[in-house]
């Protein structure tokens, strides 16, 4: 294979493999929730999301910056700016700016006594990374999900999924489905777990089912630490996520939420 074609194939493979493990969803989990950041509040993450597989080697972000802003009631704007890196089996490590992510989360149904809250969170991955060096997909990608959530005392559970539109040679569009449950076990401490499944992301490929276990620690209203780790079921692959999160907003306003609800 020509070196440029090999690098392009590696970029597509890494982008597809990392998508279930990145902070594209409700950190520190892949599965997202429908709850936006409160109006005029901010979430800022400094995070790393990394993945290993026997076939593709190592890759991830180190770090990436994620910013979420409550632009309107029930509407959150979203940005991820990553420093990407890859280290294929037997090859040199490469690092540089990766693909930029933009999105908007809109809660369309509020939670009731029996009714779950429902939201949509379309995302666009802009091809700002160098696909020739394995640091980007080389094409814009779009994710169109629907998420649901219900709280039951100290428990919160959410899930759903959507469709990734992934153009380009060697790619195919694919589905991502997941569900998560977590419990507040102490003041400022939430523990959770999730299972998620991605359908095949290349012609002739197979689906991928994974799990994560995670925790969110709240150190007051401003500072939070989030972590998760997990692996694939039936294959040699694993993923991990670690982040510092800062939440803030207008004085006297509603508290900015922790990503997994430890303070809810």
The mean predicted confidence, pLDDT, of the chain is: 88
> In the predicted model, is pLDDT for residue 10 greater than 70?
no
Per-residue pLDDT of 177-234, as tens digits, reads 999 999 999 999 999 999 999 999 989 888 999 999 999 999 999 999 999 999 999 8
Residue range 3-248 forms a domain whose CATH class is mainly beta
pLDDT value for 146: 98
Indicate whether 21 pLDDT > 50: no
CA distances from 196 to 20, 70, 158, 205, 209 (A): 8, 27, 12, 17, 6
pLDDT value of residue 179: 98
Place of tokens 């294979």: 1
Mean pLDDT, range 16-26, rounded to an integer: 45
pLDDT at 111 over 50: yes
Quick: pLDDT tens for 113-170: 999 999 999 999 999 999 888 899 999 999 999 999 999 999 999 999 999 999 998 8
Q: Higher pLDDT residue, 247 or 26?
A: 247
Burial zone of 149 (CB within 10 Å; 0-12 exposed, 13-18 middle, 19+ buried):
buried
Section 47-60 average pLDDT: 90
Beta strands in 42-173 (DSSP E): 42-53, 57-72, 75-87, 94-97, 100-109, 117-120, 123-126, 141-152, 155-165
Q: How far is CA 175 from CA 64, 144, 162, 201, 209, in A?
A: 24, 10, 6, 9, 12
Query: Domain limits of the chain?
Result: 3-248
Q: What is the pTM of this model?
A: 0.87
DSSP state at residue 129: S
* Whether residue 24 has pLDDT greater than 80: no
CA 204 to chain CA mean position, Å? 25
């Amino acid at each position: 294979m020509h070196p440029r074609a090999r690098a392009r194939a590696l970029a597509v493979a890494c982008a597809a493999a990392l998508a279930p493990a990145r902070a594209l969803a409700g950190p520190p989990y892949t599965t997202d929730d429908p709850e936006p950041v409160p109006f005029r509040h901010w979430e800022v993450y400094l995070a790393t999301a990394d993945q290993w597989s026997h076939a593709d080697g190592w890759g991830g972000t180190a770090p990436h910056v994620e910013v979420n802003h409550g632009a309107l009631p029930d509407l959150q704007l979203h940005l991820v700016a990553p420093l990407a890196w890859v280290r294929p089996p037997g090859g040199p490590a490469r690092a540089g700016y990766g693909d930029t992510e933009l999105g908007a989360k809109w809660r369309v149904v509020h939670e009731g006594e029996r009714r779950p809250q429902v939201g949509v969170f379309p995302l666009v991955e802009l091809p700002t990374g160098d696909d020739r060096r394995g640091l980007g997909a080389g094409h814009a990608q779009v994710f169109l999900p629907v998420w649901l959530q219900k709280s039951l005392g100290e428990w919160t559970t959410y899930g759903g999924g959507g469709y990734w539109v992934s153009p380009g040679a060697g790619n195919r569009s694919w589905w991502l489905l997941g569900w998560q449950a977590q419990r507040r076990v102490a003041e400022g401490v939430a523990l959770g777990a999730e299972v998620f499944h991605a359908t095949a992301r290349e012609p002739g490929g197979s689906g991928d089912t994974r799990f994560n276990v995670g925790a969110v620690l709240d150190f007051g209203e401003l500072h939070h630490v989030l972590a998760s780790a997990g692996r694939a079921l039936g294959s040699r692959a694993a993923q991990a996520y670690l982040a510092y999160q800062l939440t803030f907003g207008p004085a006297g306003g509603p508290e900015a939420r922790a990503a997994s609800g430890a303070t809810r």
